[in-house]
Structure 1
Amino acid sequence: MITLLGGIALLIVGYIFYGRYIEKNFTIDPERITPAEALKDGYDFVPMSKSKNAIIQLLNIAGTGPIFGPIMGALYGPVAYLWIVIGCIFGGAVHDYMLGMISLRNDGAHLPELASKYLGKPVKHVVNLFSILLLMLVGTVFVTSPANLIKSITPDWLTLGVITILIFVYYIISTILPIDKALGKVYPWFGAILIISTIAIGGSLIFGGHNIPNLNLATMKNFNPKGTPIFPALFFTISCGALSGFHATQAPMVSRTSTNEKEGRFTFYGMMIAEGVIAMIWTAASMSLFDGKTLSQMIDAGTPSAVVNQVSVLLLGNVLGTIAIIGVIVLPISSGLSAFRSLRTILADYLNIKQDTLKKILMVTIPLYAISFLLTKADFNILWRYFNWANQVTAVIALLVSTRYLYLKGKNYIVTLVPGIFMLFACVVYIFSEPIGFRMGLTPLTYIVSVLATLAILAVYWKTGKKQKENLDPTDELLNDHLPIGTFASNGERTNQPLPVAEPKS
């Protein structure tokens, strides 16, 4: 119990102190006009309150990641706590804050556009590919996982296929609605269910007399019953609860609805810390209620949704347990929706299809859902494996974009470079060793090749960054950020009045 409570306390302390340092290093401008005001279109660019933006960000990034990932991460034992706490404070929260704020400074641009600007135009195509692949996998995984959970608490006549179709119908309707109607109205209720159910699970675990494993010298080892090595597997298993590239695709959505840069630390850094707390609770619950062999069998028999069901009922009973399961269900449904919404905007930007009419929106949306529906027929564990790798590669790209941004501005770029290098090496090892890659296994040769490949990538990255900085002049946009429409009046003075923008056509 001490490790669980201590870990949660460290996450909060990290938000207060390290989060404040990251904000100071970025150097916010509370007077700067945001894209929500300057580019207001009544659909994606809509000013919303700090509380709504925060709960939307939390539900967007959470999905089943901070629950399914920690459940599977619990197989490794208490060492999983370390990655959640350290990963959240120094990796995931920094990653989310930087990408969200850089997007806010660039008209709410998505990761591919930011990569094009800060890493070079050729990179844009690669990042678009990874972003589209990742979001398609995320959307599909976050259809299958809630469908399985819903099936566990509904009558037998409501089949898995019908539930899947109903989720897709909800997604389609919500995707074509303005963001303040699709997310702003519903997500506060979803958030309330999530928070109440998480507190209930955590409270029952702590005060219910359960033996919660602690991290100490005796338990700081690999407890995985299958013998899967901690590195790099653990860092891909627990992603959304520590560091996740999926968040880089979601932060720009909220950067288009934020009205003040002062909100960034709470909205972006803070909500990642909140996700870390959720991950800590579910990791502890999984380790406390099941031994490694039983937990592994439950996961192998289906998906981690079976563990969610058992944990909820064992800790809270049938009635409250069902409510807790509903609290878990809202996570993947909300993240699946936001994944498809981001996928639509990224693909539309890439293909230069302006999303200003319902016809154009559906032109991009319908084919995406059709492809995703076909992917739901694939094995969940295979989808999750590909999602994990694409997810962390995207995180590396986002951290390298953030590092280049800070480097060009002469700020402390070590805060994003270190987690970026660590995850880059993990991604290289993963693709060389795993069945989805080169199948080399975790041999000495794999590590040697991975080190060389990582160093080669970093050498190119450093060389291009140095050249980019040498060619800058004081007026370059890369140093001064993009100035949104309406930021300055015709006489060059700051104005808080955005230029009029036409309302979208129905």
Structure 2
Amino acid sequence: MITFLAAIALLIVGYFTYGKFVERVFGVKEERATPAYVNNDGVDYVPMSTPKNSLIQLLNIAGTGPIFGPIMGALYGPVAFIWIVVGCIFAGAVHDYLTGMISIRNRGAHLPELASKFLGKVMKHVVNAFAVLLLLLVGTVFVSTPASLLHVLMDGKVALGVLIAVIFIYYILATLLPVDKIIGRVYPYFGALLVISALGVGIGLIVTGAPIPELSLTNFHPANAAIFPLIFFTITCGALSGFHATQTPIISRTTQKEKQGRKIFYGMMIAEGIIAMIWAAAAMSLFNGYGGLQEILAAGGPGAVVSEVSTAMLGAFGGTLAVLGVVVLPITSGDTAFRSARMIIAEYLNIAQKKFSSRLWIAVPLFAISVVLTQIDFNLLWRYFSWANQATAVIALFVGAMYLYIAKKNYWIALIPGAFMLVMVITYILNAQIGFRLPMNIAWIGGFIGTAVLIGLFFSAAKKARANKLPLEEDVSDYNQVA
């Protein structure tokens, strides 16, 4: 229990200390007009309050990642707590903050556009393909996952196909309508349900004195599987996730002032880390050891763990509410996944989105592809997604490092976690069954050599960009309205 409580405390302290440090490094411009006002179109660019933006951001980035990932990661034992805390404070929250703030400085641009500007035009096409693939996979799986959970929750009384159709209809509306019409109105309620359910489980663990394993040299890692690099691809959204880089620009277009960025971007990643800690602790402590956890995962997957934990901690009624809170997570990431895909494609093709027809003809093919993908077994594709997800995180961190380098600021806050994850990304794909299947020792050598080469290319490009005085932000000098 001490390890668990200390980890939660560290996450909170990290927000007030390292979060402020990152904010100072970036350099907030309090009076600078944000895209919510400069580019206001009543659809994607709409000023919204900090509490509303924060809850939307939390739900956008969460998905089932901070629950299902930590549940699977619990098999690694208390070492999972270390990655959640360190990864969240020094990598994930930095990633989310820089992505969001750099987007604000560049009219709410998405990652492909930012990669094109700061890493070269070729990267625009690479990242665009990565991002759209990621979002299609996320959106499709986040149709099936909540539909399956609801099907079980309703004892099969409503057909699975009907539930999938209902969720698709909601996604279509949320993708096409202005951001403040559905997402801005229902997300605060969804967010409250998510936070209450997670807090309920967390408080239940403390009150019942659940036997949460303590971090020690003898209990560091009870599982037999190698920690590196697999744990970084198991626990993603609760520590570091490239999917977040596709979501933060949605809120960068609705943020009223730059000063609100730390609460919205850095703060909500910390909140997601706390949720991840709660579910990792619950999975470690409530199934009579790691053998029991393996059994329930084999029988029913992470969803079965969620159901068992919720009922054990909160009773039948409270457990049902907690499961509903988990159902909300994929739905509120699925809708914004499709919305982000529409916005990224529109930005790539330079198509204004104020007209409904312009939004419609981009969205329809996306949903058509997604319907087809729901018929495919995603086990293999999801492994590629996991790798692509962290590869996208590396790209986003390097964008942040480039921005700070050109600005002559402390770029190490982004480059160090970016370089670390780059080693893991290269090593994983060289060794994995879905990759090149090289022996692990060869994969590690390739990971370090590949990272060294790419970092060398980064510094070469960064020096040229600084010498050429690459503009870091869009000019809004002729716009005076600030909230």
Normalised by the length of structure 2, the TM-score is 0.97
| The one of 428, 438, 447 aligned to 1:450 | 447
- Distance in 1 of aligned mates of 2:268 and 2:394: 20
- Aligned to 1:270, the other structure's residue is in SS state helix
Correspondence for 1:477: 471
Correspondence for 1:192: 192
Correspondence for 1:252: 249
Is 2:222 aligned against 1:229?
A: no
User: Match of 1:436, as an amino acid?
Assistant: I
For the Cα contact (< 8 Å) 2:428–2:443, is it kept in 1? no
Correspondence for 2:384: 386
Deviation at 1:177, TM superposition (A): 1.1
User: Match of 2:428, as an amino acid?
Assistant: Y
Correspondence for 1:504: none
Correspondence for 1:25: 25
| The one of 418, 421, 424 aligned to 2:422 | 424
Is 2:238 aligned against 1:241?
A: yes
Map 1:30-69 to 2 at 5 A: 30-69=30-69
- Distance in 2 of aligned mates of 1:159 and 1:456: 53
- Distance in 2 of aligned mates of 1:396 and 1:378: 28
Correspondence for 1:287: 284
- Distance in 2 of aligned mates of 1:467 and 1:32: 27
TM-align CA RMSD: 1.4
Unaligned runs of 5+ in 1: 490-494, 499-506
Offset from partner CA, 1:416-442 (integer Å, 9 cap, x none): 000000110100011111111112242
User: Match of 1:415, as an amino acid?
Assistant: I
Correspondence for 1:167: 167
- Aligned to 2:184, the other structure's residue is in SS state coil
For the Cα contact (< 8 Å) 1:244–1:392, is it kept in 2? yes
- Distance in 2 of aligned mates of 1:377 and 1:293: 33
- Aligned to 2:17, the other structure's residue is in SS state helix
- Distance in 2 of aligned mates of 1:128 and 1:13: 36
Deviation at 1:302, TM superposition (A): 4.2
Deviation at 1:356, TM superposition (A): 2.5
- Distance in 2 of aligned mates of 1:377 and 1:305: 20
Offset from partner CA, 1:44-67 (integer Å, 9 cap, x none): 000000110100100000110000
Correspondence for 1:75: 75
Cα pair distance change 1:382/1:295, threshold 3 Å: farther
User: Match of 2:475, as an amino acid?
Assistant: L
Deviation at 1:70, TM superposition (A): 0.2
- Aligned to 1:203, the other structure's residue is in SS state helix
User: Match of 2:478, as an amino acid?
Assistant: F
Is 2:446 aligned against 1:496?
A: no
Correspondence for 1:181: 181
Q: Which moved more, 1:232-241 or 1:347-356?
A: 347-356
Deviation at 1:72, TM superposition (A): 0.4
- Distance in 2 of aligned mates of 1:410 and 1:244: 26
| % identity of equivalent residues | 56
| The one of 385, 397, 400 aligned to 2:398 | 400
- Aligned to 1:216, the other structure's residue is in SS state coil
For the Cα contact (< 8 Å) 2:4–2:281, is it kept in 1? yes
- Distance in 2 of aligned mates of 1:317 and 1:104: 44
- Distance in 1 of aligned mates of 2:390 and 2:375: 24
User: Match of 1:459, as an amino acid?
Assistant: G
Cα pair distance change 1:302/1:350, threshold 3 Å: farther
- Distance in 2 of aligned mates of 1:429 and 1:213: 30
- Aligned to 2:255, the other structure's residue is in SS state coil
Correspondence for 1:358: 356
Q: Which moved more, 1:22-31 or 1:382-391?
A: 382-391
Correspondence for 1:503: none
Offset from partner CA, 1:364-411 (integer Å, 9 cap, x none): 112111212222233343343222111101000000000000000000
Cα pair distance change 1:297/1:383, threshold 3 Å: farther
- Distance in 2 of aligned mates of 1:161 and 1:110: 33
User: Match of 1:276, as an amino acid?
Assistant: G
Correspondence for 1:465: 462
Deviation at 1:141, TM superposition (A): 2.1
Q: Which moved more, 1:212-221 or 1:78-87?
A: 212-221
Is 2:347 aligned against 1:349?
A: yes
Deviation at 1:300, TM superposition (A): 3.2
- Aligned to 2:254, the other structure's residue is in SS state coil
Deviation at 1:343, TM superposition (A): 0.6
- Distance in 1 of aligned mates of 2:31 and 2:299: 54
Offset from partner CA, 1:126-162 (integer Å, 9 cap, x none): 1101111111111122222212211221132322222
- Aligned to 1:180, the other structure's residue is in SS state coil
For the Cα contact (< 8 Å) 2:32–2:482, is it kept in 1? no
Displacement over 3 Å in runs of 4+: 300-303
For the Cα contact (< 8 Å) 1:35–1:257, is it kept in 2? yes
Is 2:418 aligned against 1:433?
A: no
- Distance in 2 of aligned mates of 1:317 and 1:369: 38
Correspondence for 1:501: none
Deviation at 1:101, TM superposition (A): 0.3
Map 1:312-331 to 2 at 5 A: 312-331=310-329
- Aligned to 1:185, the other structure's residue is in SS state helix
Correspondence for 1:89: 89
Aligned residues: 482
- Aligned to 1:306, the other structure's residue is in SS state helix
User: Match of 1:141, as an amino acid?
Assistant: V
User: Match of 2:56, as an amino acid?
Assistant: I
For the Cα contact (< 8 Å) 1:148–1:305, is it kept in 2? no
- Distance in 2 of aligned mates of 1:392 and 1:158: 36
Deviation at 1:497, TM superposition (A): 7.1
Deviation at 1:466, TM superposition (A): 1.5
- Distance in 1 of aligned mates of 2:142 and 2:272: 17
For the Cα contact (< 8 Å) 1:4–1:284, is it kept in 2? yes
Correspondence for 1:267: 264
For the Cα contact (< 8 Å) 1:434–1:441, is it kept in 2? no
User: Match of 1:483, as an amino acid?
Assistant: D
Correspondence for 2:297: 299
Cα pair distance change 1:333/1:131, threshold 3 Å: same
Deviation at 1:37, TM superposition (A): 0.6
Correspondence for 1:151: 151
- Distance in 2 of aligned mates of 1:449 and 1:387: 21
For the Cα contact (< 8 Å) 2:404–2:410, is it kept in 1? yes
Cα pair distance change 1:190/1:301, threshold 3 Å: same
